[in-house]
Amino acid sequence: MPLLLPALLYYPCWTELKIETIISVRMSAQAKPRILFSQVKIEATVRRLAAEIMRDYQDKHPLFIGVLKGSFVFMADLIRFLDFPLEVDFIRLSSYGGGSQTSGKVKVVQGLRSKVKGRDVLIIEDIVDTGLTTAFLLDYLQQKNPASLKLCSLTDKPSRRKVPVAIDYLGFTVPNKFVVGYGLDYDEKFRNLPDICVMEGEG
Ligand code: XMP
Ligand code: MG
C-alpha cells in the first residue's frame, strides 16, 4: 500500500488508473525535488525552440494547442518569444485503463474551441513519456484535417516509450525519473517551481 498511495494521488481517478502506473510510479513520502534544469537553462532552451518555430511558422498564422495542464507555463513563455501572429487553444486529456486492462487508453476531457481544419497546428506538450497520450492526440487532430500538424515538447523521456512519437521541436531529454516543476506536477504540486526538477527519493 505505501507504493500504491502516491500513484493513486498522481492519477485523479482511481477507476482510471493504469495498473502499470501503480508499478512504475514509486515515490516515498519524503521525496523532494532536485534541480535537473535550472530556470536559466530553461530560458535559453525556450528561446532556442522559439527561434526554430519562428523560422518555420512566421508566415503561417499557426494554431498552438497546449495540452493541459502541464504545458501552460512552457506555452506562456514560448509564445512571448514569438513575434508573429498566432492563436492558442487548449485541450485536456486523460489516460485510463478499462477495468483490469493494462494497456493505456486516452480520452478528451476538455475539447478545443478552435477549428483545426486547414490550420497549421503545433501541439505544445510538457512531456512525452510512454507516448500514448501524444500518439492519441496526433491521431485525433489529424482526423480533423489540419494543413499541417507538428509537435513541440518541453521534455522527452524516451526510456519509457511504448509507441513511437516523432517530436519536431524538443527542449530536454530527461532520465527515467519523475520530473516536476515549470508546469509539471506531482499530485498537483510543484507546477510553480521555476526549474525542472527530479523527485529525489523516488524508488
Ligand atoms: P504518456 O506519454 O505516458 O504521458 O502518455 C501521459 C501524461 O503523464 C504525465 N507525465 C508526467 N507528469 N512528470 C509529470 O509531471 C513526469 O515525469 C511525467 N510522465 C508523464 C504528463 O501529463 C503526460 O502528458
Ligand atoms: Mg501532458
Give the pocket of ligand 1 (CB within 6 Å): 70, 95, 126-134, 178-180, 184-185
Cα pseudo-dihedral 38, 40, 43, 49, rounded to 10: -70
Q: How far apart are CA 144 and CA 197, in angstroms?
A: 36
134-190 confidence digits (pLDDT tens): 999 999 999 999 999 999 999 999 999 999 999 999 999 999 999 999 999 999 999
Question: What element of type H or E holds 152?
Answer: strand 148-156
Instruction: Could you list the beta-strand ranges (E) of 5-142.
Output: 27-37, 63-68, 87-96, 105-110, 120-128
* pTM of the complete model: 0.85
39-94 confidence digits (pLDDT tens): 999 999 999 999 999 999 999 999 999 999 999 999 999 999 999 999 999 999 98
| Ligand 1 centre distance from Cα of residue 84 (Å) | 30
Q: Residue 73's pLDDT is what?
A: 98
Q: Residue 127's pLDDT is what?
A: 98
Among positive and negative, which fits the CA dihedral 39, 43, 44, 48? positive
| Ligand 2 centre distance from Cα of residue 134 (Å) | 8
| Cβ–Cβ < 8 Å for 139, 109 | no
| Ligand 2 centre distance from Cα of residue 68 (Å) | 6
Best residue among 96, 133, 165, 173 to mutate for probing ligand 1, ranked by most atoms within 8 Å of CB: 133
| Active-site residue list | 129
| Ligand 2 centre distance from Cα of residue 198 (Å) | 16
What would you report as the CA-atom Rg of the chain, rounded to the nearest whole angstrom? Answer: 17
Give the ligand 1 atom nearest the CA of 177. Answer: 17
- The full set of domains in the chain, from first to last, is 38-174 (3.40.50.2020)
Best residue among 127, 133, 191 to mutate for probing ligand 1, ranked by most atoms within 8 Å of CB: 127
Return the ligand number nearest the Cα of 134.
Answer: 1
Return the ligand number nearest the Cα of 20.
Answer: 1
| Cβ–Cβ < 8 Å for 156, 185 | no
Return the ligand number nearest the Cα of 163.
Answer: 1
Q: Residue 162's pLDDT is what?
A: 96
Per-residue cell: 150: 507538428
Per-residue cell: 167: 517530436
Q: How far apart are CA 83 and CA 162, in angstroms?
A: 36
